Structure 1
Amino acid sequence: MWAVARKARRKLGRVKARATGRPAAARPTPKGGRLVTSPVFVLSSVRSGSTLLRVLLNSHPLIRAPHEMHLRTLEVKQTRAYTEKAMKQLGLDGEELEHLLWDRILHRELSHSGKELIVDKTPGNALIWRRLHEAWPDARFVFLLRHPASMVSSLINGRPDRELAQTVAEVKQYVDAVEEARGQLPGLTVRYEELTEKPTEVTQEICAFLGVEWDRRMLNYGKQEHGPFQAFIGDWSDNIKSGKIQQARELPRPDEVPDSLKEVTRHWGYEC
């Protein structure tokens, strides 16, 4: 018995010696292991028709597409140096902590909905597509395109006090990011004009991409509950509140396309 006790004390002493020695190297930041393994992100510019796409998808019995989530501006702050040190020993850097938070929020929303797929359509996602791909290697992406000059005019119509040059620069930032993501990520490209003109055909294509059976209720989004239509979390215009798919505006004339947007306009297949 005494021999067993001495052996146990020696083992405990070795454990204590290791504990008081040089700290173990921090583990590398783990990737993956998400609660939501394959979320869907709509990458688009502002005023691209993403709220219409959201409510059509949210009308599907298996798809939850909430209002804009703004994950890009949801941050984790480590207020003490020892907090960062503690997280580092867990292999968690600042970015991964934010990814865990984003994932938990998406999972909470999906769980509350009782559905199977979650779609986040926040336009700001286009500006962080690399982080989204890093955080969710199995994420799926839908690229929503609209004539760039139409997005400019839509922004100005919504807020007539906007300056044209500033509005064009804002749209260009988004469309350039969307185009860059399209060149780097696999995904499905959808045109807003085609969505409004042929909603059945386009939503069937989206459902096939997402691996769910098409449901006719998607075309009657006004009969479903989608939460409030409010500024800063989506479109709040009378068109979207009507509950009906509205025809897209007539495409801008070539002379109405700002010079800085002409290249991407042509690349997206619009005349300019």
Structure 2
Amino acid sequence: MGWKTRVNTALEGMTGYSVSRVRREVAPPPPAPRPPADVPRPPADPKLDRLVREPVFVLSPVRSGSTLLRVMLNSHSRIHAPHELHVRRLAVTLTTDPLRQAMETLGFSTSDIEHLLWDRMLHRELTGSGKQIIVDKTPSNVFAHRRLATCWPDARYIFLMRHPASIALSWHEADPLERPWEEAIQHTLRYMRYLTEARRRLDGLTLTYERVVAAPEKEMRGVCAHLGIDYEPGMVRYGDHEHGEFVKGIGDWRDKIRTGRVQPGRPLPARDEVPEELREICAEWGYL
């Protein structure tokens, strides 16, 4: 026993205290940056790497009726359409060199592991519902449609459009102080442009909000045919079903869900009411 130990033992016996050296806290190393060469790629073995082979994504701008479409789809006995999942925001960080080396040895890039995580989240959500088809209607998915198509090569798509001026106005009216009219136009126009690109790149079914509220049964029959399932009348009686938490400052949606009636949309704006910035995309979408 060294003298330091003997002194500390005697001190502790007499006073109840002991002397120890203060150890500095060593901060963990910062996460390593993602390698530039990490380009997202399809699954190496789709049967092994994907638990959900054919997820359905509703690609739409904000304020275009995606919540209405979600609850109508979720009312089908085979379709689980939860509130927005935002799975593309789930990111993976490989924090140490040994971990990175291990993943490289297994053949996984960071993006590959993220895709496994995204797929597992969808699989858990779907399995917990007891249904067979999962639909995610997160509007910001339009910005990542290429990545989603890479992750799930067999994914299916529903494109939901609405009159561009109605989209911008609805976004503005939801919070006029925080969303001035000119900013609302530019903000929603980004979604519209990405949706236009997605429709050019991907195969899918195109719906419009105006047609959904005008002829809900006809449009839902078309959706069911697109997904290869039988139509169920309960889809237009969505108030009879439970749809989870989804209402966050969306006006009178609770009453709409409770009554289960599809509400008519606002009148379409006249041509001279359409802002100049939106006229080109209005024409491209068939609204002018």
User: What band does the TM-score fall into relative to the shorter chain?
Assistant: 0.7 to 0.9
Cα drift, residue 255 of structure 1 = 2.1
Q: Does residue 1:90 correspond to 2:106, yes or no? A: yes
Write the distance in 1 (CA, Å) between the matches of 2:263 and 2:118.
33
CA RMSD of aligned residues (A): 1.5
Is the CA contact 1:126–1:174 (under 8 Å) kept in the aligned structure 2?
A: yes
Aligned to 1:213: 230
- Deviation string for 1:211-269 (max 9, x for gaps)? 010000001111100012333xxx73203542221111111122222222211111111
Cα drift, residue 114 of structure 1 = 0.6
Amino acid paired to 2:239: G
- Deviation string for 1:36-61 (max 9, x for gaps)? 00000000000010000000000000
Which shifted more, 146-155 or 68-77?
A: 68-77
* Residues 143-162 of structure 1 aligned to structure 2 (within 5 Å): 143-161=159-177, 162=179
Write the distance in 2 (CA, Å) between the matches of 1:194 and 1:164.
26
- Deviation string for 1:116-167 (max 9, x for gaps)? 1000000011110001110111000000000111011111111111122221
Q: Does residue 1:237 correspond to 2:254, yes or no? A: no
Amino acid paired to 2:83: H
Which of 218, 227, 245 matches 2:244? 227
Higher Rg of the two aligned structures: 2
Structure 1 unmatched ranges of 5 or more: 1-27
Q: Secondary structure at the match of 2:62?
A: coil
Q: Secondary structure at the match of 2:170?
A: helix
Amino acid paired to 2:224: C
Aligned to 1:261: 278
Structure ranking higher on relative contact order (CA contacts 8 Å, 6+ apart): 1
Q: Percent identity?
A: 47
* Residues 98-113 of structure 1 aligned to structure 2 (within 5 Å): 98-113=114-129
Moved over 4 A (4+): none
Amino acid paired to 2:241: Q
Which of 131, 134, 148 matches 1:132? 148
Provide the aligned length of Structure 1 versus Structure 2.
Answer: 241
Cα drift, residue 72 of structure 1 = 2.4
Write the distance in 2 (CA, Å) between the matches of 1:147 and 1:110.
32
Aligned to 1:190: 207
Aligned to 1:40: 56
Write the distance in 2 (CA, Å) between the matches of 1:158 and 1:76.
34
Write the distance in 2 (CA, Å) between the matches of 1:218 and 1:250.
24
- Deviation string for 1:172-204 (max 9, x for gaps)? 111111110101111100001000000000000
Cα drift, residue 112 of structure 1 = 0.5
Cα drift, residue 31 of structure 1 = 5.4
Aligned to 1:249: 266
Cα drift, residue 77 of structure 1 = 1.8
Amino acid paired to 1:253: A
Is the CA contact 1:207–1:213 (under 8 Å) kept in the aligned structure 2?
A: yes
Write the distance in 1 (CA, Å) between the matches of 2:78 and 2:234.
12
Structure 2 unmatched ranges of 5 or more: 1-40
Write the distance in 2 (CA, Å) between the matches of 1:152 and 1:31.
42
Is the CA contact 1:69–1:120 (under 8 Å) kept in the aligned structure 2?
A: yes
